[in-house]
Amino acid sequence: MDAHHLPNLVSLRLSCCKYCFCLPPLGQLPCLKSLSIYGLEGIQEIGSDFYGENLSIAPFPSLESLTIEDMGELEEWKHFEGECFPRLKYMRIQRCPKLRKSLPLCLPCLEWLDIGGCDGLELESFPMKDSSYPKLERITLAGMTQLKSLHEDMHAQVPCLRSLELVGCPQLQLVPQRGFPSSLFNIRITSCPKLIACRMSWGLQGLHSLKQLQVGDHDFENAESFLEELHLPPKLAFLYLERCSNLTKINNNGLLSLTSLQHLWIEGCPNLECLPEEGLPNSLSSIWISGNSPLLKQRYQKVDGPGWHKISHIPRVRIE
């Protein structure tokens, strides 16, 4: 590919090129803003060919969005020595199970990092270990079976982080040494049993910007008191409990301390018998009960449910 022949190309998608064994020098396309690569099963390495040989400009000078998905044979993404992806805002890596070695180190404008289904990728050795991301606001990690810990000082590395989602990371157990970044607005942690087990060390009480918390796991221990153990910040406005199979009760003290709580969503909690009998925060404006939560649905069904009178004053109640 000669970049001079495509000087104005803005968006490019490469999909299911079964016999492609080497990526073209896409890094030399001067106006390329969006690049998606899907299902190139013959690609084992992202290397110098991808960046191009013209070193007079930084590779991918205009690229803002990069998606790489369903690359079943991809094993390594080699670093580019020097500036690269100077304007990249969004990077999505999905279903690359053989990818072991790390991603690009220099991403000064990255705002959202979304990685899922990369079972072998250990982030202790991808950019999260040695680099800083001054504009990164959102991290989504899902299906990372080898991930054991997050960066020990996320406060310095991602000072603007607003949203952190960790889903299906069974080996993840260590939180950063100083706890999660104080800038966080939203946290979602589900199907991360080892991380859930050390929930008392999350340091949520110091996250004064945290407004949304989504948490769930099939194997809660000491389930009745887990809300108290999380040491939730008083300004939390949204609490979402999902797929908590062993949760049978919610300790009332854990909820009543949330004087700013507005929305309580409960999904897929089949053994949860009831909401706290003593009452809910006065600030609550909506309750949503959905999924496999038969005991709750029966108890709080509108009009006929024996517990309906305890939530009927809440402006929005949705049971489905």
Q: In this predicted structure, which of 24-33, 36-45, 89-98, 127-136 has the lowest mean pLDDT?
A: 127-136
Q: Which amino acid is it at 269?
A: C
Q: Residue 81 gets which letter from DSSP?
A: S
Average pLDDT over residues 79-104: 86
User: pLDDT band at 1, cuts 50/70/90?
Assistant: low
Sequence-separated contacts (24+) of 297-302 with Cβ below 8 Å: 299/273, 299/274, 300/275
If we measure between CA atoms, which residue out of 84, 82, 127 comes closest to residue 103? 127
Report the alpha-carbon distance of residue 63 to residue 10 in Å, rounded: 9
pLDDT score, position 130: 52
Residue 264's DSSP bridge partners are 239, 287
Q: What confidence tens digit (pLDDT) does each residue in 44-80 have?
A: 999 888 988 766 778 999 999 999 999 999 998 888 7
Average pLDDT over residues 298-316: 89
| Joined tokens for residue 299 | 């108890």
Average pLDDT over residues 246-258: 77
pLDDT score, position 219: 64
- Cβ distance 204 to 184 under 8 Å? no
The model carries a pTM of 0.89
Average pLDDT over residues 234-240: 91
pLDDT score, position 7: 81
pLDDT score, position 255: 79
pLDDT score, position 21: 86
Position 84 pLDDT exceeds 60: yes
Average pLDDT over residues 195-220: 85
pLDDT score, position 220: 61
If we measure between CA atoms, which residue out of 36, 51, 99, 32 comes closest to residue 72? 99
Q: Within 13 Å, how many C-alpha atoms sit on residue 129's CB side?
A: 13
- What percent of the chain is predicted at pLDDT more than 90? 42
pLDDT score, position 105: 67
Report the alpha-carbon distance of residue 18 to residue 72 in Å, rounded: 12
For the chain, the straight-line distance linking the first and the last C-alpha, in angstroms and rounded, comes to 54
Every domain of the chain and the residues it spans: 3-184
pLDDT score, position 127: 45
187-225 burial, b if ≥16 CB within 10 A, otherwise e? Answer: bbbbbbbebbeebeebebeebeebbbbbbbbeebeebee
Position 167 pLDDT exceeds 70: yes
289-300 burial, b if ≥16 CB within 10 A, otherwise e? Answer: bbeebeebbebb
Residue 166's DSSP bridge partners are 141, 189
How many angstroms separate the Cα of 100 from the Cα of each of 18, 76, 111, 121, 270?
Answer: 22, 6, 23, 5, 38
Q: In this predicted structure, which of 28-37, 88-97, 201-210, 259-268 has the lowest mean pLDDT?
A: 201-210
Q: What confidence tens digit (pLDDT) does each residue in 187-196 have?
A: 999 999 888 8
